[in-house]
Structure 1
Amino acid sequence: MTRPPVGGGEMPGRIADVRWHAMSGFALVGVIAVIAGGLVAAATGPTGFTHGSWVAAYLVLVAGVSQVGLGVGQALLAAVPPSGRRRAWQLVVYNAANTAVLLGTLISSVAVVVAGGALLLLALALFLAAVRHPRTHSWHLAIYRLLLAILGVSVPVGIVLSALRQS
């Protein structure tokens, strides 16, 4: 038995495969970040790692959960899932930003935190642009945009807090 075509002659399974492929890299890296955050949290107390709780929270919330939300959100919400090239840029920029913020915090360099923040804003702009033409205007889209807004507002707040901590 064959499935009926859906818009443009594509089979429903093919559409699901394309959307899954569009989110899988973000889901994988995000889950790894959540696990790493859990490991950092577990090691913080016994080792006396002073930035441990902040690093764990950042890994779980920003590098992990938010990355999964952004990757899955754009894959499901965009009328056409982002191209492989766009997704590669998003993955590289978003994770380079997170690495810079984490590194800058650990070495007490506000300049590195600022560079990471700037990269994070660039990554958020790439995610926002990817869903410029959504398939739906449901509450899912509102949540996706709210996640982008929360992250966008948290960048300057985090930079200011980093600068205050160093002064």
Structure 2
Amino acid sequence: MTFDRRFAAAPFAAVGTGCVVAGGLVAAVTAPAPSTHASWAAAYLVLVAGVAQIALGLGQAALASHPPSTRQVAAQVIGWNVGNAAVLAGTLTGVLPLVDLGGALLVIDLALLIHAVRGGLRRSTRVGRWALYGFRVLVLLLLVSIPIGLALTRIEPA
């Protein structure tokens, strides 16, 4: 991976790693008195805000036909993290419009990411094709999970 591509992946990797650490800290701090919200928040921070962000950033940097611009990366990282913060804050406080706004930001960000890898650089190789398929599957999985998550926030616990 060239310097430009590593530079494009770095913000996703740095913030995503911070989210994984934050999720671990939430789990550790709330372990003595676990709650549904705390467990959900820890998992969300690790899986969606952290691991998915790292994979999306690395995938875009490696698969796009041209390294994304600094402006493009900044918009995507900000959009992804503001969206996740809105989902977390809205869910934990019960403010459903905030959850919806966060979900919408995440969908927009996923559209930007999938658009960035169209005509991907590595399509010509077998490994590149599989990497592109994997990236698309991750985006599809996230796109399917967003409306499911939005619906689940509206279900009252038993």
TM over 0.5, shorter chain:
yes
- Structure 2 residue 154 is the aligned partner of structure 1 residue 163: yes
Structure 2 unaligned segments of length 5 or more: list them. Answer: 124-128
Structure 1 unaligned segments of length 5 or more: list them. Answer: 1-14
Q: Deviations over 1:21-73 (max 9, x none)?
A: 01000000000000000011111222444411100000000000000000000
Bigger Rg, which one:
1
Once the two structures are overlaid, the 10-residue window that deviates more, 29-38 or 135-144, is 135-144
User: Do the aligned residues in 2 keep the contact of 1:44 with 1:50 (CA within 8 Å)?
Assistant: no
1: distance between equivalents of 2:72 and 2:152? 31
1: distance between equivalents of 2:60 and 2:103? 21
Structure 2 counterpart of 1:111, from 97, 106, 118: 97
- Matched with 1:6 is none
- Structure 2 residue 48 is the aligned partner of structure 1 residue 57: no
Structure 2 counterpart of 1:153, from 144, 148, 151: 144
Q: Percent identity?
A: 49
Specify the SS of the correspondent of 2:67. coil
Q: Quick one: which amino acid aligns to residue 136 of structure 1?
A: R
- Matched with 1:132 is 118
Q: Using structure 1 for the length normalisation, give the TM-score.
A: 0.87
User: Do the aligned residues in 2 keep the contact of 1:78 with 1:133 (CA within 8 Å)?
Assistant: yes
1: distance between equivalents of 2:34 and 2:47? 22
Matches within 5 A, 1:14-163: 16-137=2-123, 138-163=129-154
**CA shift at 1:101, angstroms?**
0.2
Q: Quick one: which amino acid aligns to residue 44 of structure 1?
A: T
Q: Quick one: which amino acid aligns to residue 154 of structure 1?
A: S
Q: Using structure 2 for the length normalisation, give the TM-score.
A: 0.92
CA root-mean-square deviation: 1.5
Q: Quick one: which amino acid aligns to residue 119 of structure 1?
A: L
